[in-house]
Amino acid sequence: MNQLPTPTLPSNAAPRFGLIIIGDEILSGKRADKHLPKVIELLKTRGLPLDYAEYVGDSPERITATLKRAFASGDVVFSTGGIGATPDDHTRQCAADALGVELALHPEAAELIRQRMQDLAKEQGSVFDPDHPDNLHRLNMAVFPVGATIIPNPYNRIAGFFCKAKGQFSAGPPQGSEPLGGQPREGKLAPAGGRDPHAMGERGGVYFVPGFPVMAWPMIEWVLDTHYPQLHQTAAWIEQSVIVFGAMEATLTPLMQDIERQHIGVKVFSLPSVDHPEYGRHIELGVKGEPARVALAYADLLAGLHRFNANLGPELVQK
């Protein structure tokens, strides 16, 4: 898994998307990670790529260092796990440490937890006691870094939270300007930036959601559809490739570089395999992008391969 980069994107560039998956249980193999393929799917359905991901165990020092890089990146980074209220949940404190701020009880998140506890008491036929030690302990899940904004949790109303580094523009409406689970009200600007929070090029931040998929996935969808609809890609996208037998990637690299130089907006990819059950040792060489651009680039790619007298196999298309 790649280390989180510290990119140097221009301030007007659209943010990239990253994922941090926190928990010893993933690294020990006790639980299999389901977040990575699902987040890739959620982004892909909106025409967006996942640019990087990282697994981190329950080490406060490592979590804090990882979050510092994420905040500094200006990217949209989703962090799953570690926001509960047990001794091995360190993410909230690490987020505060990474930002250099204190932790504080978030009033709206706390009220949502109280509502949840009242509903549970009613279901169980008991009287809700807000001062019961268990209920007071649950309020720890509403303790966030100062300045955090909540992410609604449709499963049990125990909110996640969003933070950004100091000096970055807010990715969404100011707290309290939108109903939970609803659309942002028009005419509201994020106070930190003084500009339209949905404008193309708005920088991101880190979105903290629970480790439970049933909660995390709809919360991530809500973030994408509420805070970043302007980044969704509606244009068609296609991949076109060909199986190349007996060639070396080093030999094909100049051709790949030429294709990307000549066809702006098209990406060239090379996927080597040494033990494919059908094709054996081969390279899948292709281009991806908008269909019209891909058609021209792919024709040039095939022409270049023919000049190499390459041994070509099946051609593949993925939309």
User: Given the DSSP bridges, would you call strands 149-151 and 103-105 parallel, antiparallel or unpaired?
Assistant: unpaired
DSSP 202-245: ---EEEEE-S-HHHHHHHHHHHHHHH-GGG---S--EEEEEEEE
Which residues in the chain belong to E strands, given as ranges? 17-22, 52-56, 76-80, 103-105, 143-145, 149-151, 160-163, 205-209, 238-245, 267-276, 280-289, 311-318
Stated pTM of the model? 0.74
Q: Which residues of 143-173 are buried (b: 16+ CB within 10 A; e: fewer)?
A: bbbebbbbbbbeeebbbbbbbbbeebbbbbb
Q: What is the pLDDT of residue 183?
A: 34
In Å, how far are 162, 182, 221, 242, 293 from 214, measured between CA atoms?
A: 19, 19, 12, 39, 39
**How far apart are alpha carbons 17 and 78 in whole angstroms?**
8
Please determine, looking at this structure, whether the domain spanning 17-231 carries the CATH number 3.40.980.10: yes
What CATH class has 238-318? alpha beta
Per-residue pLDDT of the chain (319 residues; tens, 9 = 90+): 444 444 344 445 578 999 999 999 999 999 999 999 999 999 998 989 999 999 999 999 999 999 999 999 999 999 999 999 888 999 999 999 999 999 999 999 999 999 998 988 888 888 888 888 888 888 999 999 999 999 999 999 999 999 988 755 444 443 433 333 333 333 222 333 333 433 333 568 999 999 999 999 999 999 999 999 988 876 678 899 999 998 889 999 999 999 999 999 899 999 999 888 888 899 999 999 889 999 999 999 999 999 989 999 999 998 7
Say how far apart CA 18 and CA 289 lie, in whole Å: 21
pLDDT value, residue 130: 83
Taking alpha carbons only, the member of 210, 62, 65 closest to residue 141 is 210
Q: Could you say which DSSP state residue 263 is in? A: S
Q: What is the pLDDT of residue 172?
A: 42
Q: What is the spatial distance between Cα 301 and Cα 258, in angstroms, rounded to a whole number?
A: 9
Give the start-to-end residue ranges of the domains of the chain: 17-231, 238-318
The pLDDT assigned to 142 comes to 95
Strand partners, 285: 242, 270
Q: How far apart are CA 246 and CA 268, in angstroms?
A: 19
Residue 234: what pLDDT? 66
Element (H, E) at 98: helix 91-99
Torsions phi, psi of 241, nearest 5? Answer: -145, 170
Identify whether the C-beta of residue 21 lies closer than 8 Å to the C-beta of residue 33. yes
